[in-house]
Amino acid sequence: MIRAMSTQSTSSALTADDHLILVDGSTFIFRAYHALPPLTRKPDGLPVGAVSGFCNMLWKLLQEGLTPEEGDEPTHFAVIFDHSAQTFRNEIYPEYKAHRPDPPEDLVPQFGLIREATRAFSVHCIEQEGFEADDLIATYAREAAEQGARVTIVSGDKDLMQLIGPKVGMIDTMKNKTFGEAEVFEKFGVGPDKVIEVQSLAGDSVDNVPGVPGIGLKTAALLINEFGDLETLLAKADTIKQNKRRENLIEFADQARISRQLVTLKQDVPVKVPVGELSVTDVDGPKALGFLKAMGFTTLTRRVADVTGADLDTVDASDLKVPGWDVPDHKGRMMERAAGSDSAGSEAAKTPGDADPDNSGLLVPQTVADARAQTIRAIPVDSSAYETVTSLDRLKEWCDAAFEKGYVAFDTETTSLDAMQAELVGVSLSTEPGKACYVPLGHVDGEGDLLGGGGLVEGQIPLKDALEVLKPMLEDRSVLKIAQNLKYDWLVMTRYGVDITPYDDTMLLSYTVDAGKGGNGMDELSERWLDHKPIPFKEICGSGKSMITFDKVAIDKATAYAAEDADVTLRLWLILKPRLASEHMATAYETLERPMVPVLARMEKRGISVDRQMLSRLSGEFAQGMAGKEAEIYELAGESFNIGSPKQLGDILFGKMGLPGGKKTKTGAWSTSAQVLEDLAAEGHELPSRIVSWRQLSKLKSTYTDALPGYINPETGRVHTSYALAATTTGRLSSSEPNLQNIPVRTEEGRKIRKAFIAEKGHKLISADYSQIELRVLAHMADIPQLKKAFDDGLDIHAMTASEMFGTPIEGMDPMVRRRAKAINFGIIYGISAFGLANQLGISRGEAGDYIKTYFERFPGIKDYMEATKKQVHANGYVTTIFGRKAHYPEVNTKNPNMRAFYERAAINAPIQGSAADILRRAMVRMENRLEGSKLDAQMLLQVHDELIFEVPDAQVESTIPVIRDVMENACDPALKLSVPLQVDARAADNWDEAH
DNA sequence: ACGGCCACTTA
DNA sequence: GTAAGTGGCCGTC
């Protein structure tokens, strides 16, 4: 129970009987936000999830203290907040905490509310300009401990661990974990008194404390245990045996000293409120209730009313001012809700993911995903239990349920996999596991062959009426829409005038936390997480030629299939969403994945114009070219055969003609790859080179000039590719149907196809591409001074590499020398091997090995980077990009040396390719707003890994290019300061070939 | 009708 | 040596 401190004057000194609790408010806010399901206040959609978590915790602490034992309640209690981002640390080191992304949009309004909540519970709410919460906590903790009192810090922040001592403990209430000296030792390898020394060496990437390069927690602890403290170590640095370590300690001594200043908490802040004044006072019942009512936390409101004895009915919701949100009429709607859901005895029906603030739980175990998965698996997936919604009233009730919950799983059924042509056939909804419905809207009679049959099946809600009911819910910001591969549904629904927002995508959630572990499709996720195999689409619609469209499916079958999808999607969300917070992937999901959905959907919707006539002419040209080659080939071979069959070709070349076969394919057949054929051609054989050119023409014709026109959408007259957001391990996008990321560019013939991609009349295409983005990213990540300098100075990077390696001046360099360096630079990005480089350059493996050796000698940082990455992937099973995306390689520890080496190369490549992909994504997410903000009509059409293609009105070309370039070149801001400049080349033309 | 293999296209 | 997708061939179902 709460102890009233009536015997204690407000500012007397503390005694040994006193117990001060200091809650680290700022970190708690972020933890509560990410760990708990999103929650918004009705009816205005004010986000209050973090506020709810905070209030529950505060109340529990005030009620029970930290442990269930009697007499452990606090006598003094304060919540400490950060005042502003700028502190004295930024004067010491401007980059301090510079990597911090802006807080999520829906968290911002909650900062003020949480301070309000603190005051509403009559708890001291402390913050002070120029100091971090940690400094205030340090100061109070020291003062209280000196006066003999016990102190408990409520936080999970490792930066506070330096304060732990005999009188000062720390507890993480979210993880239910206490930290004493033993835990500190476990984490830092030293006691609390040496934590600062270790941190100053190891640095901290989260807070951007630099530390000393090459020294992590382990090494730092080792050194401090040997030398005692930082200054002693630095003074004796020259005695360190390890070369690199010694050099770094000497070179970065000052950086370590600055780091020490950054991590040392200030224990003598001139606090405005003396520690003696932090005594606990009784909760003012009506005041607390007013706040809780205004928030709509019904269960906690009742609980507080019970304990304080305040009369609920006489208390009005307090008048809170949150910009953009009006205070709702609580007397009416909030109480109605309390009666409707809370007192109706529905506790048993509640699921673990229920966003009810009072059921969200104070303690979120780390294994929350497992716990939830178990609970959710226990609820059977019964596809016969779903409801078919055939009346507007029932549809309205489902939408009400979505509002009530604050979230709903949503799925569309349509006539086509192509979202640009798909017609809506029905939608399904689910609000809790096992509870889902299907709303048929466009089902037609099966036998529509004669007499123009195929009329709408009776009993369906008219599409227009259903959309009128669904639209407000799907667009309401207080209802989170959960979908699997939302881009598809978003595109379909936007064509029906519905803009789905806000949303989560279970496919992207899975991709964010598990990229590389397997597919992210719904069927696969369902089997992985729910042990449930959803009804296969084939079972409903068939496959191949006999496949029917979904509108022909009987409605009862459709309900079983469609509602199950929504049910499964909701369950997946309940399991996957909490993993974002517990695995620290929320920022990656929110900045790199989720916002891409509408961006890509709009790009796909716009499409791009292709010149059908030009492609048709080219097809003819290529056919002619092929016919010519064909005749020559048959002549040389002495018979006709199928040139497109590698098997038949092999028989001719290596059987009949007796040419020396080089490589074998993995099935044991002779390889007829271009490489093999070119080698044969180099020996003077006529036939192979004809085959190579025939194949090139054949490819251009079949894949591009013949196939592309088939992708022209009859309504828009344009080609709409589909981008996959979750298809690659590294974070790149992929493009399909058609793939517009592999349109030819290398050969003259191929570029003719590119010329067929054109701007519409009165417009130009702008192509903007990053120059050498992957090498720049590598220079930054591996921290290679020569490379960074070369990029700073705008040098030819391959020539510079050659010059550095072979000691030849850049002026008048032999092109062959540069070519070798270029191949090595690319090789590095691909996780180089002597075998691969030898292949690429046509040299011996020994020679290639020598090149690599020389390269590593000249750029030792690259070698370090590669070794460190390998170590990481073996230890963790994944690697990360500079923006925190993960790429998993679960089989990297295989015994098979070839496979192992392959995964290691992939793991070396992934952070480079993936970081570049992250940068592109950041640019794309910002691009539309920036263009609109500049009153420009440019439309982003395509992305090709390091290039963006826009369509722009003629008159705006000149003003658009600088905006595009600015967004792309500064795409890392403000989250990260890249230590190399990004360079973007941009050109405009009537077609893609000339713009590129 | 489907899927593996091989070849070719891109960054 | 990394990351993708598509089309033709051809064996299997």
- Quote the CA–CA distance of A903 and A832 in Å, as a whole number: 12
> What pLDDT sits at residue A342?
34
> What is the separation of C-alpha A966 from the centre of its chain, rounded to a whole number of angstroms?
23
A180-184, A318-322, A330-334, A683-687: least confidently modelled range = A330-334
Task: State pTM to two decimals.
Answer: 0.68
pLDDT tens figures, A399-409: 999 999 999 99
Q: What percent of chain A has pLDDT over 90?
A: 60
The Cα A322–Cα A328 span in angstroms is: 12
Res A71: pLDDT: 57
In this predicted structure, the answer to whether residue A229 has a pLDDT above a threshold of 80 is: yes
What pLDDT score does A249 carry?
Answer: 79
A129, pLDDT greater than 90: no
Residue A177: pLDDT band with limits 50, 70, 90: low
- Whether A693 shows a pLDDT value over 80: the answer reads yes
- Give pLDDT, residue A678: 93
A117 pLDDT exceeds 60?
Answer: yes
Protein CA A705 to sugar C1' C7 (Å): 13
What's the pLDDT tens digit per position in A65-78? Answer: 766 555 567 888 99
Average pLDDT over residues A565-593: 95
When the pLDDT of each residue in chain A is averaged and rounded to a whole number, the result is: 87
Token output for A687: 């036939």
Please check the confidence at residue A536 and state whether its pLDDT lies above 90. yes
pLDDT of residue A35 exceeding 70: no
A176 pLDDT more than 80: no
Pair of tokens at residue A895: 């015994």
Assign A58 a pLDDT band (cuts: 50, 70, 90).
confident
- Position A101 scores a pLDDT of 60
Cβ–Cβ < 8 Å for A691, A672: yes
Measure CA to C1' and name the residue nearest B4. Answer: A667
CA distance A898 to A667: 18
pLDDT band with cut points at 50, 70 and 90 for residue A446: low
Distance A644 CA to B3 C1' (A): 19
Q: State whether the beta carbon of A544 lies below 7 angstroms from any atom of strand B.
A: yes
Q: List Cβ neighbours of A885 (8 Å cut-off, separation of 6 or more).
A: A512, A515, A588, A592, A731, A914, A917, A918
The tens digit of pLDDT for each residue in A646-668 reads: 999 999 999 999 999 888 998 88
pLDDT(A534) > 90: yes
Least confident of A327-331, A398-402, A623-627, A965-969: A327-331
Q: What is the average pLDDT across A178-195?
A: 75
* Residues constituting chain A: 996
Segment A350-377 shows an average pLDDT of 50
Q: Which of A148-162, A267-281, A366-380, A714-728 is predicted with the least confidence, judged by mean pLDDT?
A: A366-380
Q: Flag the least confident range among A353-357, A387-391, A618-622, A839-843.
A: A353-357
Most confident by average pLDDT, A177-181, A205-209, A300-304, A969-973: A969-973
Nearest protein residue to B6's C1' (by CA)? A646
- What structural domains and CATH numbers belong to chain A? 19-278 (3.40.50.1010), 285-346 (no CATH), 368-583 (3.30.420.10), 609-729+740-749 (1.20.1060.10)
Q: Using an 8 Å Cβ cutoff, are A263 and A132 in contact?
A: no
Integer distance in angstroms from CA A393 to C1' B7?
58
In terms of DSSP bridges, do strands A177-179 and A168-172 run parallel, antiparallel, or are they unpaired?
Answer: antiparallel
Q: Which nucleotide is nearest to A729 (CA to C1')?
A: C3
Would you call A739 helix, strand, or coil by DSSP?
Answer: coil
Of residues A280 and A322, more confidence is placed in A280
pLDDT of A170 > 90? The answer is no
Answer with the residue of higher pLDDT: A715 or A12: A715
Burial class of A42 by CB neighbour count within 10 A (0 to 12, 13 to 18, 19+): middle
Q: Which residue would you say has higher pLDDT here, A224 or A626?
A: A626
Rounded to 5 degrees, φ, ψ at A731 are: 110, -5
DSSP per-residue letters across A798-858: HHHHHHHHH---STT--HHHHHHHHHHHHHHHTT--HHHHHHHHT--HHHHHHHHHHHHHH
Spatial separation of the C-alpha atoms in residues A665 and A691, rounded to whole Å: 18
Query: Gap from A325 CA to B7 C1', in Å?
Result: 60
pLDDT attached to residue A206: 66
Q: Identify the weakest region by mean pLDDT among A148-162, A163-177, A549-563.
A: A163-177
The reply to whether A241 has its C-beta less than 7 Å from any atom of strand B is no
Going by pLDDT thresholds of 50, 70 and 90, the confidence category of residue A340 is very low
The encoded tokens of residue A568 equal 């499964």
CA distance A608 to A742: 15
pLDDT for res A572 = 97
> Which nucleotides along chain C are within 7 A of a protein C-beta?
1-11
Highest mean pLDDT among A25-29, A306-310, A631-635: A631-635
Q: What is the pLDDT of residue A67?
A: 62
DSSP track, A215-235: --HHHHHHHHHHHSSHHHHHH
Average pLDDT over residues A704-724: 96
* Distance C9 C1' – A649 CA (angstroms): 12
Nucleotide at minimal C1' distance from the A544 CA: B1
- Classified as helix, coil or strand, A734 is strand
Regarding beta strands A480-483 and A424-432, do their DSSP bridges make them parallel or antiparallel, or are they unpaired? unpaired
Nucleic strand C within 7 A of Cβ A835: yes
- Nucleotide closest in space to A724 (CA vs C1'): C4
Answer yes or no: is A548 CB < 7 A from strand B: no
